[in-house]
Amino acid sequence: MRHFFDSLRDVPVLVLTAINSSFPLGFGPRDSDPAWLPASGFLDKPVEFNAVLEKIASTID
């Protein structure tokens, strides 16, 4: 979507994933890529709601 709408280009994306629970790939922030996965942050599921709120707050500051 970011590629098609300039208004979304600067909207932060937070990835919540359980991939590391199923496959120990070490998937995380180093895998962020502006073209493929333009993520502002990563959290491994399961994650506590307060941790999500803290990550959102730190991402938009």
Q: Where are the domains of the chain?
A: 6-60
Inform me whether the pLDDT recorded for 51 exceeds 90: yes
Mean pLDDT of 45-50: 93
pTM of structure = 0.68
The pair of three-digit structure tokens given for residue 30, joined into one six-digit string = 């180093």
Other beta carbons within 10 Å of 48: 9
Which pLDDT score is estimated for 15?
A: 87
